[in-house]
């Protein structure tokens, strides 16, 4: 791939890897491509640059993205969750034909307004975002919305978050006010715990800073569109067994949680920076995940095994999964391209299931 120069327009992308693409609804012709470094969002003619200066210090790539509205994009990254707001004048060109000269000039660059919530104690490898829910609002010039996402840290485990948003309207007189972003950890399932140095008797602590885990490694996860049920895939330690586990959300009264989040967030929410990441004095807003292993009120993600399979080498590891809350069907994809469709009972049921379709990709 041709490197991106921040001072020059993007002229050509020679190649890129297969990427998850998240389209916005309606007539807006905007796509999000996740595997193009540094983290950029491409419109056919417009380059939306969300370059993060922190990426110079450690990788903080986008692992999942979801359009909340046509102007607001929620991005889950390895160490943060960000809300990107497009300018109110952002529009898609009417013509997208190859004969359009603008396609070859690449002359438009849009800088998004970004607010961010940082995860400093976890490094997320994968995430899945539910469909956004628009909530009733007493303010005619603002939209309340909520969305959930499930993310996994390979060593630490699985984490279920709830994000509450207050989004000013583009045509409101309060358009200059920033959106409000509030993030709460709803539930978690730990695989390894932070190492307690006070218990160290001899020798050195592990380089990871974590105790030897007794459960498994997470290799994939997916959250249903409603954010109430999901599936994860774990690789058992010291075993060739790979388990597909289903669960129901531990926190049921999510509406009250959304109201409480927005009330406590204040007028600007948990805002770290503005102007597309130019600031280098970001305020750390770890929030509820800082000491999640010490919180007695934190719910535990407790699931039931729906399907197990033997994997004798890494090629048979399950690396992708998709889940339908309406039909409770699960689609699994392995590293070597094998696809499996499972017909399941409701996530959380203890009954194992058998595949009804087993085919090569």
The verdict on residue 257 lying in a domain is: yes
The verdict on residue 319 lying in a domain is: yes
| Coil, strand or helix at 128 | strand
Cα–Cα dist 60/32, whole Å = 16
User: What pLDDT does 66 receive?
Assistant: 93
Q: CB of 230 within 8 A of CB of 222?
A: yes
User: What pLDDT does 293 receive?
Assistant: 53
Residue 175 DSSP symbol: T
Burial pattern 10-39, b for ≥16 Cβ within 10 A else e, equals: beeeeeeeeeeebebeeebebbbbbebebb
Q: CB of 95 within 8 A of CB of 56?
A: no
User: What pLDDT does 97 receive?
Assistant: 46
The verdict on residue 277 lying in a domain is: yes
Q: CB of 77 within 8 A of CB of 66?
A: no
**DSSP string spanning 94-125?**
S---TT-THHHH--EEEE-EEEEEE-SS---S
Q: CB of 218 within 8 A of CB of 234?
A: yes
Q: Distances in Å between the alpha carbon of 29 and those of 44, 112, 143?
A: 8, 17, 22
Cα–Cα dist 308/323, whole Å = 16
DSSP H helices in the chain:
102-105, 254-265
Closest CA to 194 of 297, 286, 289: 289
The verdict on residue 51 lying in a domain is: yes
User: What pLDDT does 109 receive?
Assistant: 64
Closest CA to 155 of 127, 192, 121, 126: 192
Closest CA to 355 of 316, 308, 315, 323: 308
The verdict on residue 321 lying in a domain is: yes
Residue 83: domain span: 40-360
Within 8 A by CB and 6+ apart from 203, the residues are none
Cis peptide leading into residue 213 (ω within 30°): no
User: Could you read off the pLDDT tens digit of each residue along the chain, which spans 361 residues?
Assistant: 344 444 443 333 333 333 444 544 444 445 555 544 333 343 333 344 445 544 456 788 899 999 998 889 999 999 999 999 888 766 555 444 455 554 445 555 667 789 999 998 889 999 999 999 988 877 777 889 999 999 999 888 899 999 999 988 766 554 457 789 999 998 888 877 666 656 556 566 555 556 665 567 888 999 999 888 999 998 877 788 889 999 988 665 565 666 555 555 544 444 333 333 333 333 334 444 445 555 556 788 888 899 888 888 788 888 899 988 888 889 999 888 889 898 876 544 434 444 434 444 3
335 CB-side CA count, 13 A:
9
Cα–Cα dist 56/58, whole Å = 6
- Name the domain count of the chain: 1
pTM of the model: 0.70
The verdict on residue 106 lying in a domain is: yes
The verdict on residue 125 lying in a domain is: yes
Distance of CA 316 to the CA centre of its chain: 25
The verdict on residue 133 lying in a domain is: yes
């Amino acid at each position: 791939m041709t490197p991106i120069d921040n001072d020059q327009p993007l002229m050509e992308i020679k190649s890129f890897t297969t990427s998850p693409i998240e389209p916005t609804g309606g007539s807006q012709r905007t796509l999000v491509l996740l595997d193009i470094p540094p983290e950029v969002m491409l419109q056919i003619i417009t380059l939306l640059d969300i370059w993060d200066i922190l990426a110079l210090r450690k990788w903080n790539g986008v692992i999942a993205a979801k359009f909340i509205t046509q102007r607001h994009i929620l991005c889950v990254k390895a160490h943060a969750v960000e809300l990107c707001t497009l300018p109110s004048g952002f529009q898609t060109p009417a013509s997208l034909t190859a004969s359009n000269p603008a396609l070859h000039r690449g002359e438009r660059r849009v800088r998004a307004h970004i607010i961010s919530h940082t995860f400093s104690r976890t490094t997320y490898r994968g995430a899945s975002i539910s469909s956004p829910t628009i909530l009733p609002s007493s303010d005619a010039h603002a939209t309340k919305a909520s969305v959930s996402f499930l993310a996994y840290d390979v060593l630490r485990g699985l984490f279920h978050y709830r994000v509450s948003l207050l989004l000013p309207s583009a045509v409101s007189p309060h358009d200059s006010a920033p959106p409000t972003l509030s993030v709460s950890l709803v539930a978690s399932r730990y695989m390894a715990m932070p190492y307690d140095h006070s218990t160290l008797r001899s020798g050195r602590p592990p380089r990871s800073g974590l105790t030897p885990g007794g459960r498994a490694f997470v290799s994939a996860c997916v959250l249903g569109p409603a954010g109430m049920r999901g599936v994860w895939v774990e690789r058992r330690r010291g075993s060739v067994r790979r388990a597909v586990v289903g669960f129901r959300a531990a926190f049921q009264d999510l509406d009250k949680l959304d109201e409480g989040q927005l009330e406590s967030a204040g007028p600007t929410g948990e805002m770290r920076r503005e102007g597309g990441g130019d600031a280098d004095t970001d305020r750390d807003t770890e929030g509820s995940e800082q000491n999640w292993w010490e919180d007695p009120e934190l719910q535990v993600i407790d699931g039931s095994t729906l399907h197990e399979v033997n994997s004798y080498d890494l090629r048979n590891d399950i690396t992708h999964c998709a889940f339908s809350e309406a039909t409770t069907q699960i689609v699994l994809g392995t590293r070597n391209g094998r696809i499996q469709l499972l017909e399941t009972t409701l996530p959380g049921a203890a009954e194992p299931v058998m595949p009804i379709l087993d085919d090569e990709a």
